[in-house]
Amino acid sequence: METVTKQKQKVTTKKTIKISGAEAVVKCLLAEGADLIYGYPGGAIMPVYDEFYKYQNELHHVLTRHEQGAIHAAQGFARSSGKVGVAIATSGPGATNLITGIADAQIDSTPIVCITGQVGSNLLGSDAFQETDIVSISTPVTKWNYQITKASEIPEVLAKAFYIAKSGRPGPVLIDITKDAQFGELDFKYKKCTKIRSYTPVPQIDMSKIEAAAELINKAKKPFVIFGQGVTLGQAEEEFKAFIEKAEIPSASTLLGLSALPTKHNLNVGMVGMHGHYAPNVMTNECDVLIAIGMRFDDRVTGNLETYAKQAKIIHFDIDLAEIDKNVKTDIAVMGDVKDTLSLIFPLINKNTHQTWLQKFKDLYKVEFDEVIKAQLNSTSQGITMAEVIEVLNNETKGEAIIVSDVGQHQMIASRFANFKETKSKITSGGLGTMGFALPASIGAKMGAPNREVVAIIGDGSFQMNIQELGTVLQTKVPVKILVLNNEFLGMVRQWQEMFFDRRYASTVMTNPDFVKIAEGYSIKADRVSKRENLTDAIAKMIASKESYFLEVNVEKEGNVFPMIPTGATVSDVRLK
C-alpha cells in the first residue's frame, strides 16, 4: 500500500515541475512540435536564448542576419511544410523588424507564431531602452496578440497562440514576453489548446447552401472555377480535382492558388489577375456561374468591380465569413472547411461535359500563345527573356521543384510559365507584395521540405532587399538554388513608367554590384550567364549541385510582362501588347 502511494506521488510530481519562464517557452515549443525556429537574439529575449543553448540537441535555432529574414524564413517553412512557422526577436527594433513579415503572413493566411522579448514589466510605458509597444503596433496585422507579464501565463498563452495560428483561416500570432516573466518561475504543466470560448475557427456547414450550389452548378451551361490558396490550406487538393473533373469545369488559379492543381491538368486554364492568362480573364465576364473556392476576390483578380462577372451567379466556398460579399456580391455562400464542403457537394454534382465551353478557353489560349508566349519563349532579340529562363528551369526540374519567387516582373513570369506537378510548389508574397521575400523564404522552404528542390527566383532589385541572408545560407549550408534575373531595372515599376508615364524612368535604373563576387564571398558557388547559348548548361549545373548555388542571368533590360489588365480596367480589357 505504501509503495502504491509513493508511485502516485511520483506521477503527480512529474505533471508539474518548477522552472523558469524562459525554459517554459522552450518546453512549450517542443510540446507543439516546433523544434525549428528562426530568430535574432538581443537583450530582452536573452533568457530564452540561454535556454536554447541548453536545449540545442532538441531544438534547432536558425540565426538569420535580420529579423525580417527570420519572419520570411518562418513563412517559407510554413508554406512548404504545412506546419506553424516560428520567429523570435528581441524588443524594440527587433520586434518592429518583424512587422512587414507579419503583415505579409496575415494577408496571405500563413500560420506563424512570433515571440518577442520585452523590457521588464516595471518599465512598461517608461520609454525604457529598446521599449516599443509591439502589441499595439502589431494589432492590425495579427490574428491575435498578447503580452505576458507573469511566468505562470506562458503555457496557456503559447498553447492558445499555436491553436489560433493554425486553426480555421491560418494567420500570424504575436506573443510579447517581458523580461521578468522570462526570469520568473512557475509550476510547469502544458496542455495543448483545442478550443477557445467565443472563437469559432470553422463555421458550421449549412447543407441547404450546398444543395443550392449543386443545383446551380448542374444547370450551368458555362461554369467557371477560380481557386485560391484555400484549397492548399484546407488540404483539399484531391477533393477539388474530383469535383472539377466530375462536372468538367474549366478552372483558373489565383497567384497563391498555383500548384493546388497540376499545371498540365486538362481543366487548368491558367492564372487570373492583372498579369494572368488571357482566356480565364476574358471568360470571367462570359461564364454563367462563377465558383470561387478558397479565394478572396483580390483587386488584382477582379479589376474594376463595377464590371466584374455581372452576368454570372456567384458561388463562394470559404472558411472566413469576413470574405463573403466583401468585394463581390455572392449569390450562394458555402461556408466551412473546403475539404468538407467539397466532399459534401461531390455526390450532388451531376457528371457532365462542357467541351464547347472548354474549347473557348483553348481557342483564346492560342491567341495568347501566338501574340505573346511564342515571342517570349523563342525570342530572336539579343537579350535573354525571363520566360526563356523559366522554360529551361522547367525542363531541368521536370516541374517538381518548389519555386519561391520575389515580387516584380520575374514573379509574374515565373507564375505564368513555371510548371507545377505537386502541391505546395509555388511560394510567393501575394497580397502584400513584399520585395526581399524570396531569399529568406527559400531558406525556410528548403528546411520545411528538405527532400525537394527549392529554387528562389529573384529580381536584381528584390535580391538587394535582404541580400544579407546569404550569410544564413553560409552558416546553415542549406542547399537552396538562387536564380537572379538581372535587368538592371526595378522592372515592374519601369514597365508602368513606360506604359503610363511616357518612359520617364524616375529612380528605377539600378547600378548593381558584382553579385557573383558577393555570393562567392559567402562561399556559395556562383556563375553568370549573358548569352542564350550558355543558358541551358548553366541552369543544369545549378540544379545538379548538391550544395547551395547562385546563378545570375542577365536578361533583356526593357522586357515587359503581358498580358496585362491596367489598373481600373475590366478583366475583359486585357492588353496583349
* Secondary element (H or E) of residue 114: strand 112-118
Active site residue 400: no
> Measuring CA to CA, which residue among 226, 231, 224 is closest to residue 342?
231
Cα 192–193–195 angle (5° rounding)? 150
Cell triple for 460: 536584381
Using an 8 Å Cβ cutoff, are 121 and 148 in contact? Answer: no
Cell triple for 215: 443545383
Cell triple for 125: 510605458
Q: Which of 386, 412, 435, 492 is catalytic?
A: 492
Sign of CA dihedral 473, 400, 81, 137: positive
Spell out the alpha helix ranges (H) of 338-469.
338-345, 355-368, 374-377, 386-397, 409-417, 438-448, 460-463
Long-range contacts of 568-571 (CB under 8 A, 24+ apart): 568/303, 568/304, 569/303, 569/304, 570/285, 570/303, 570/304, 570/307, 570/308, 571/272, 571/281, 571/282, 571/284, 571/285, 571/302, 571/303, 571/304, 571/307, 571/308
Q: Which of 160, 166, 179, 426 is catalytic?
A: 179
Active site residue 179: yes
Active site residue 129: yes
C-alpha distances in Å from residue 394, one per residue of 406, 438, 449: 18, 19, 19
Strands 223-227 and 289-293: parallel
Q: Which of 9, 58, 129, 183 is catalytic?
A: 129
Q: Which of 83, 130, 245, 422 is catalytic?
A: 130
Active site residue 492: yes
Q: Which of 67, 239, 323, 388 is catalytic?
A: 67
Catalytic residues: 67, 129-130, 179, 492
